[in-house]
Amino acid sequence: MTIDEKIQAAYDALTAGRPGISDGQLTVSNICLEAGISRASFYRSPLAGTIRRDLADPGSTNRPDTEQLRAKVRELTAADKQLRSKHAAEIRDLRATVRTYANQIQILTLHVSQLEDDNQRLTARLQHAGDNVTPLNRTLPATARCRETPGREHDDTQ
């Protein structure tokens, strides 16, 4: 890219309100900064005269309206604030959910531990019982139902 192309690209970016590294004001210094050239190189360029005339006459350049830019900044700032607020609320909700899950996991872990202790205690009793206990069939079919005593009808009112 030639120096003139760099100057033109920087001038176009600043007039369009899209500064890359400068503060966005349409000045020779900012054009040089955006183009990455020295002021001496700018003044040696054939574009320098045209650009300086445009800068001297504010009505001749297509500069972004500062009030429009300020309104856009306010709009973007409000949108940013709203998104940050929404994000913070989501984070709070997620942390509360994590705390709830952690409590539930702790409760379930304690319950499992109690069941394991009960199982060990009952297994030990079964082993020490000797011939006094007859093991039952441990697996019952899913359709197993209580059997009624022969001669008695089942009474649902009890």
Based on the domain organization, do 55 and 109 belong to the same domain? no
Distance (Å, rounded) from C-alpha 16 to C-alpha 21? 14
pTM given for the model: 0.40
Q: Which two tokens stand for residue 32?
A: 């040089």
Based on the domain organization, do 77 and 108 belong to the same domain? yes
- What are the tens digits of pLDDT across the range 17-63? 888 898 888 889 999 999 999 999 999 999 998 888 888 876 666 66
Based on the domain organization, do 72 and 31 belong to the same domain? no
State yes or no: pLDDT of 125 exceeds 60.
yes
Q: Could you tell me if residue 121 is inside a domain?
A: yes
Mean pLDDT of the chain: 83
Q: Which two tokens stand for residue 62?
A: 């297509």
Q: Could you tell me if residue 154 is inside a domain?
A: no
Based on the domain organization, do 70 and 94 belong to the same domain? yes
User: With bands split at pLDDT 50, 70 and 90, how would you rate the model's confidence at 81?
Assistant: very high
Q: Could you tell me if residue 15 is inside a domain?
A: yes
Q: What is the largest CA-CA distance in the chain?
A: 119
* Residue 25: domain span: 3-60
Task: Kindly list the distances between the CA atom of residue 45 and the CA atoms of 2, 8, 72, in Å, as whole numbers in the listed order.
Answer: 10, 11, 35
Last residue of a domain, one of 41, 60, 79: 60
Q: Could you tell me if residue 98 is inside a domain?
A: yes
